[in-house]
Amino acid sequence: MDCFKLTRHRLRTVLTLSPHDWWMLVQTWTLLLAVDLGLRVLPLRRVQALLSLRHKDARYPYPAELSAVTQHLWRLVDIAARHHLYRMTCLRRSVVLQWLLRRRGIPADLRIGVRKESEVLRAHAWLEVQAKPIGDPETIAACYAPLVTWEADR
């Protein structure tokens, strides 16, 4: 019974995607793989620099739609990451989403934080647009001690 509900949910998700979203999903899936391979052999800063070579940044002209656009892109990255060959970490997701936002002229700050959970050190990467996390709870910054912050070029 649960399998049927899951299949129905996935089918509903698929049907809500426009042809443009499907194309974005294919690009995002491919970019996740490229970023993953890049981060295995290069430092994060170098991967980000390689991604920024292809597109000049523009300022996003519609501030009223900013939240909707960022959430929509986050959703596409999340779908692509969940249906990938293997688990895509929060860092890979964040770098890809940062690139997608940057192409649309939306500056996003990459944050990396750490916390200790019963003798285990945990790390998490997330993006913030106008000091608000994308795809994470508003309190995410309070849960992790800041390790690294790369502010978007403004």
Question: What does the pLDDT average to over 106-131?
Answer: 91
Name 106's Cβ contacts closer than 8 Å, sequence gap at least 6.
60, 66, 69, 70, 129
Question: What does the pLDDT average to over 39-63?
Answer: 78
Q: Indicate if the pLDDT at residue 125 is higher than 90.
A: yes
**Which pLDDT band, with edges at 50, 70 and 90, does 2 fall under?**
low
Q: Indicate if the pLDDT at residue 154 is higher than 50.
A: no
Please report the pLDDT score of residue 65 as a whole number: 84
**Which pLDDT band, with edges at 50, 70 and 90, does 12 fall under?**
low
For the chain, domain boundaries: 19-150
Higher-confidence residue of 28 and 153: namely 28
Residue 127's DSSP bridge partners are: 110
Q: Indicate if the pLDDT at residue 138 is higher than 70.
A: yes
Per-residue HEC secondary structure of 39-62 comes to HHHCCHHHHHHHHHCCCCCCCCCC
Please report the pLDDT score of residue 56 as a whole number: 55
> What is the pTM (predicted TM-score) of this model?
0.84
3-state SS of the chain: helix, strand, coil percent to 5?
A: 55, 20, 30
Using one digit for the tens of pLDDT, what is the confidence trace for 55-97?
555 666 677 788 889 999 999 999 999 989 999 999 999 999 9
